[in-house]
Amino acid sequence: MAALVVLLLALACTGGLYAVFAPAGKAQADDTAQSLAIDEGKKLFSVGCASCHGTDGRGVSAAPQHGAAKVPGLGPSLRGVGALAVDFYLRTGYMPLGNPHEQPSRGPALFDRREQAALTRYIASLAKGPPNPAPHPERGSLSEGLQLFTEHCAGCHQVVGEGGIVTGARVPALDKASVVEIAEAVRVGPYFMPRFTHRDLNDAQLNSIIRYVRYATQRPDDPGGWAIDHLGPFPEGMVAWLLGGLSLVLVCMLIGKRLRS
């Protein structure tokens, strides 16, 4: 009986020690893993980003010296952008740029997902900034998304998200954008795109927009007729003029041939 009591006391002490020290050990392990990720991100940053954004992430600008004209900066400060902007630009392949004066465009990501996470943690650690979004398009309204997208986005992206060209910029199609990337782009406002805050579009409205974009870019049915690959009204109008012009030429040739005969 005494041996059983001793065994129970030993188990209780072991459980108590585990309850005290296990959370602390786990927290310490998490802190260590985060520190290692930040260190790795700093090394990656110095190789792939510092030439434009500065070794400390404050950006690179050229101030006028001795009366010389001011030279445009290469890259903006990244302090305070948080994980939101970094994750978007890295996962879409927008960054790093070969030429900092060119418009970013979607391409293969230079860094893999582990490296992207390390870079994101490092840049987010420079100063407090917005976190990554957690969109839920399944909670959104398709009809509301159409209305909001038409009001805020279709002027550049077209109502079916096919993109196009505006003054001084190319507007990308949205068919390759993931749910998270759409949410990030709305909050970041990359390049010439305006940034929409929570005051402009709340999270529920953003969910509706994302749901509509995913629907519209997945090749919806076209009961109205020939969609011409969803290129939009301007290309479709050009095709209509081309076909109409060719038909008119053909009719004129036939009339001329009949008059000569």
Our CA angle for 148, 150, 155, nearest 5°, is 130
Task: Give the per-residue pLDDT at 111.
Answer: 93
Written as six digits, the tokens of 87 are: 């994750």
257 vs 39 pLDDT, higher one? 39
CA–CA gap between residue 174 and residue 163 (Å, rounded): 7
Q: Is 151 exposed, middle or buried (0-12, 13-18, 19+ CB in 10 A)?
A: exposed
Model-wide pTM > 0.75: no
Q: How many Cβ atoms from other residues are within 10 Å of residue 193's Cβ?
A: 16
Query: DSSP states of 85-102 as a string?
Result: HHHHHHHTT--S-SSTTS
Task: Give the per-residue pLDDT at 241.
Answer: 81
Q: How many CA atoms lie within 13 A of 62 on its CB side?
A: 12
Q: What is the mean pLDDT of residues 232-243?
A: 69
Model pLDDT for residues 101-159, shown as the tens digit of each residue: 888 889 999 999 999 999 999 999 999 999 989 999 999 999 999 999 999 999 999 88
Does residue 6 register a pLDDT over 90? no
Does residue 220 register a pLDDT over 80? no
CA–CA gap between residue 76 and residue 78 (Å, rounded): 6
Asked if the domains at 31-59+75-131 and 133-221 fall in one CATH topology, the answer is: yes
Task: Give the per-residue pLDDT at 242.
Answer: 84
Architecture of domain 133-221: Orthogonal Bundle (1.10)
Q: What is the mean pLDDT of residues 249-256?
A: 88
Task: Give the per-residue pLDDT at 222.
Answer: 60
Model pLDDT for residues 173-216, shown as the tens digit of each residue: 999 999 999 999 999 999 889 999 999 999 999 999 999 999 99
Q: What is the mean pLDDT of residues 9-22?
A: 57
Q: Helix, strand, or coil here: 161?
A: coil
Does residue 223 register a pLDDT over 90? no
Q: What is the mean pLDDT of residues 224-253?
A: 73
Give 70's pLDDT tier (boundaries 50, 70, 90).
very low
- Choose the most confident range, by mean pLDDT, from 33-47, 81-95, 231-245: 81-95
Q: Which residues contact 110 (CB under 8 A, 6 or more apart)?
A: 48, 90, 93, 96
Q: Which residues contact 72 (CB under 8 A, 6 or more apart)?
A: 61, 62, 101
Q: Is the dihedral of CA 48, 54, 57, 58 positive or negative?
A: negative
Domain boundaries defined on the chain: 31-59+75-131, 133-221
Task: Give the per-residue pLDDT at 203.
Answer: 96
Task: Give the per-residue pLDDT at 2.
Answer: 64
Give residue for tokens 């406002």.
Answer: 189
Q: Helix, strand, or coil here: 136?
A: coil
Q: Residue length, the chain?
A: 261
Give, for 182, the enclosing helix (H) or strand (E): helix 179-188
Model pLDDT for residues 25-68, shown as the tens digit of each residue: 555 666 677 788 899 999 999 999 998 999 999 988 765 555 44
238 vs 205 pLDDT, higher one? 205
Does residue 80 register a pLDDT over 80? yes
Superfamily of domain 31-59+75-131: Cytochrome c-like domain (1.10.760.10)
Q: Is 184 exposed, middle or buried (0-12, 13-18, 19+ CB in 10 A)?
A: buried
